[in-house]
């Protein structure tokens, strides 16, 4: 196995990776920015290297400094976590060229799947259902109009390089098409430095269902079931669960089969996620593939009993998968709530502060992934996700009750978080009945905020 690896990330995912490394007896090199000197991942790693100033572009995205740190500390591999350089093919290529293993798929595969319009073409070639729309990127407004008329409104404009729900616009009326196109393009240019766009039909009120895969370098590809990530705000996930209530064994094997085909078509290796939207009739459509570990991987770990980070290292070390598809059994139900340092009463505005007091939930079936500790001052420079509370129970209803109990135990003093908002969601009849689709939060926001107001009085 690898002897020493560098973690090109920060926060809870860096801590998560360190935990597995310790269990696998792999030494860890943390990287940090000057703003992160006191971060938990720095304290927990075997050693740590400062790679630049606070601004992510100069530190956590600074490929040269990160590679230099890896070479100077004698690392065999780099785990990129999620966000930052995790889906950057140039970085993956530079790692390979420096003789360091990038823990993820090959650079060419990241390229092929990172462009969402190209990825769709790849899926079509393997008969994986995709959302009807343009056959690749569209730049000409006239052509865009023509395709929109053909597929019919409402439509969704999407950035080929998109991520994190950005560079996306819903269009309900033909008059809105071109203005929305310009808006989305500008946003994509600002966020991703690439304004290539494509168009697809807007599936009304779908569920977001994604399949976790593991693919080794010996041609074995398996899926680990699905996650329902329909509870989203502005196309960003807030609560995830596994399995998805709407998916029975038949649909799971069908979608799972397509997922594995999709991964094989792309020559995929390592852990990855194939995302679909599922409509109310049980039709599903590929939307994108994420070529990295995801925030919500923990719910899959709870129901499968597997350590996905460990599998990532094993695969990257050219080892064959130990489990076959038949060995994968989904046990019980798991739910994850993201705890973001955002104030729901102020439009989810991010906030920072010094953590005065912390109490994390514990007891049966509860897991907390976080990099918070008492006395730590949170940073305004990075993502607002502060913790993930994950629960596991035999049934969905028991998991909901367990999550409520866990959130009641949770205390984070010093910052305002979404924990109370998550708690209220765990009591919403529509969520409990399993009826919440991707529009749920948008439609119910006012009601939930008023509820929140009441509970604070």
Active site amino acids: 292
| Shortest distance, position 160 Cβ to ligand ADP, whole Å | 10
Residue 269 or 384 having the CB closest to ligand ADP: 384
Among 49, 156, 372, 399, binds ligand ADP (CB under 6 A): 156
Among 53, 164, 332, 350, binds ligand ADP (CB under 6 A): 164
Dihedral sign for Cα atoms in the order 310, 316, 322, 324? positive
How many C-beta neighbours within 10 Å does residue 155 have?
Answer: 27
Q: Which does 294 bind (CB under 5 to 8 A by kind): ligand ADP, Mg ion, none?
A: ligand ADP
Q: Are strands 47-52 and 27-33 parallel, antiparallel or unpaired?
A: parallel
Q: Is residue 202 near ligand ADP by the rule CB under 6 A?
A: yes
Residue 83 or 344 having the CB closest to ligand ADP: 83
Site for Mg ion in 267-296 (CB under 5 A): 275
According to DSSP H, which parts of 201-357 are helical? 249-266, 297-304, 308-316
Length of the chain: 457
Among 78, 199, 287, 372, binds ligand ADP (CB under 6 A): 287
Residue 296 or 342 having the CB closest to Mg ion: 296
* Rg for the chain, CA atoms, rounded: 21
Phi-psi group of 344: left, alpha or beta (phi > 0 → left; psi -120 to 50 → alpha; rest → beta): alpha
The span of 29-37, 97-105, 254-262, 287-295 binding ligand ADP (CB under 6 A) equals 287-295
Q: Is residue 209 near ligand ADP by the rule CB under 6 A?
A: no
Torsion of CA 134, 185, 380, 451, to 10 degrees: -70
Q: How far is CA 205 from CA 35, 73, 436, 439, in A?
A: 41, 50, 9, 6
Find, among 172, 181, 183, 243, the residue nearest to 207 by Cα: 243
Find, among 186, 185, 177, the residue nearest to 146 by Cα: 177
| Shortest distance, position 398 Cβ to ligand ADP, whole Å | 26
Which x/- pattern, by CB under 6 A, does the window 43-72 give for ligand ADP? ------------------------------
| Shortest distance, position 360 Cβ to ligand ADP, whole Å | 20
Q: Is residue 300 near ligand ADP by the rule CB under 6 A?
A: no
Q: Is residue 222 near ligand ADP by the rule CB under 6 A?
A: no
Residue 53 or 164 having the CB closest to ligand ADP: 164
Which pair of tokens denotes residue 1?
């196995």
What are the residues whose beta carbons fall under 8 Å from the beta carbon of 31, sequence distance 6 or more?
6, 7, 8, 9, 10, 48, 49, 50, 51, 59, 60, 66, 69
Do 312 and 79 meet the contact criterion of CB atoms below 8 Å apart? yes
DSSP 8-state assignment for residue 130: B
Q: Is residue 83 near ligand ADP by the rule CB under 6 A?
A: yes
| Shortest distance, position 182 Cβ to ligand ADP, whole Å | 19
Q: How far is CA 288 from CA 26, 42, 115, 123, 295, in A?
A: 32, 33, 9, 10, 16
Among 103, 295, 306, 371, binds ligand ADP (CB under 6 A): 295
Count of residues in contact with ligand ADP, rule CB under 6 A:
26
Residue 26 or 385 having the CB closest to ligand ADP: 385
Residue 287 or 426 having the CB closest to ligand ADP: 287
| Residues in contact with ligand ADP by the rule CB under 6 A | 82-83, 131, 156, 162-165, 200, 202-203, 206, 208, 232, 235, 237, 275, 277, 287-288, 290, 294-295, 383, 385, 438
């Amino acid at each position: 196995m690898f002897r020493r690896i560098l973690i090109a990330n920060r926060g809870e995912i860096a801590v998560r990776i360190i935990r597995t490394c310790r269990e696998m007896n792999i030494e860890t090199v943390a990287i940090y920015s000057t703003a992160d000197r006191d971060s938990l991942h720095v304290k927990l790693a075997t050693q740590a290297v400062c790679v630049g100033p606070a601004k992510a572009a100069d530190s956590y995205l600074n490929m040269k400094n990160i590679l230099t740190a890896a070479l100077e500390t004698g690392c065999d591999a780099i785990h990129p976590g999620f966000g930052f350089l995790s889906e950057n093919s140039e970085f993956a290529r530079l790692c390979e060229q420096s003789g360091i293993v990038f823990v993820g798929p090959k650079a060419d595969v990241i390229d092929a799947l990172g462009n969402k319009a190209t990825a769709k073409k790849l899926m079509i070639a393997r008969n994986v259902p995709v959302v009807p729309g343009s056959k690749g990127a569209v730049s000409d407004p006239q052509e865009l109009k023509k395709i929109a008329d053909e597929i019919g409104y409402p439509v969704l404009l999407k950035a080929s390089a998109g991520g994190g729900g950005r560079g996306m616009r819903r269009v309900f009326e033909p008059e809105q098409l071109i203005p929305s196109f310009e808006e989305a393009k500008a946003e994509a240019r600002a966020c991703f430095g690439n304004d290539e766009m494509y168009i697809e039909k807007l599936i009304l009120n779908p569920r977001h269902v994604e399949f976790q895969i593991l693919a080794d370098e010996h041609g074995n590809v398996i899926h680990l079931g699905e996650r329902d990530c329909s509870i989203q705000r502005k196309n960003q996930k807030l609560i995830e669960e596994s399995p998805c209530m709407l998916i029975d064994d038949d649909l799971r094997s069908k979608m799972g089969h397509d997922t594995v085909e999709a991964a094989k078509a792309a020559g995929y290796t390592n852990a990855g996620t194939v995302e679909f939207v599922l409509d109310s009739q049980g039709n599903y459509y590929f939307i994108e593939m994420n070529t990295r570990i995801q925030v919500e991987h923990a719910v899959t770990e709870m129901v499968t009993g597997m350590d996905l980070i460990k599998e990532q290292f094993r695969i990257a070390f050219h080892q064959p998968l130990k489990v076959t598809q038949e060995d994968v059994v989904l046990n019980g139900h798991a739910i994850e709530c993201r705890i973001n340092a955002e104030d729901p009463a102020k439009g989810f505005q991010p906030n920072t502060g010094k953590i005065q007091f912390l109490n994390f939930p514990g007891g049966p079936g509860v897991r907390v992934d976080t990099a918070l500790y008492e006395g730590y001052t949170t940073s305004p420079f990075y993502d607002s996700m502060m913790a993930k509370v994950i629960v596991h129970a035999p049934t969905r209803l028991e998991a909901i009750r367990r999550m409520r109990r866990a959130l009641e135990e949770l205390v984070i003093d010093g910052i305002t978080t979404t924990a109370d908002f998550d708690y209220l969601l765990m009591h919403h009849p529509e969520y409990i009945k399993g009826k919440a689709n991707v529009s749920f939060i948008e439609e119910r926001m006012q009601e939930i905020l008023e509820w929140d107001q009441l509970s604070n009085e």
